[in-house]
Structure 1
Amino acid sequence: MASQAISKQELKKSKVMATLHLEAKGLVYEEWLHEQHLKVAEENQDVIEQALELLIKHNKDVDKKPYFNSKSNTEI
């Protein structure tokens, strides 16, 4: 999927339409969105695990210095 700028107005309009559609089906937008996030994480679990394993290996190989600059780290 190509990345392209989407205006706030377009995002709001699509969220309103999705929310209405989901409500008509008896679903709550926030719950549905959370499920979508979980689905993406589950579908990509192998890639995430591989990336974390590489990061751990890298950190061990470079004199225990973390790959990420501590100033740019964000907590999850």
Structure 2
Amino acid sequence: MPDSPVPIDIKEQGPKWVLMTIGEGGEYGKWLLPREELIRALLDGATIFYKGLSDAFSDSISQKYRFRERYEYLLNFKNQYLGE
């Protein structure tokens, strides 16, 4: 089914690398990725996602689901740990 979840597995492969496997047994692929670059990309994507939700919905909906709060948390997290 198109809306069924796809498993994503991430395992450390030394201090600077991770192995990301998508699908059962790597059905959709396996990639050896730089750890810091993957973390940065995931945080950037999450930040953009919550900023978009916060901007798209009314203040009452945004407050109910804490979109703005999550967006600001991610910005602070990135600044504190990644210096952005």
User: Scaled by the length of structure 2, what TM-score is found?
Assistant: 0.32
User: More strand per residue: 1 or 2?
Assistant: 2
Structure showing greater Rg: 1
User: More helix per residue: 1 or 2?
Assistant: 1
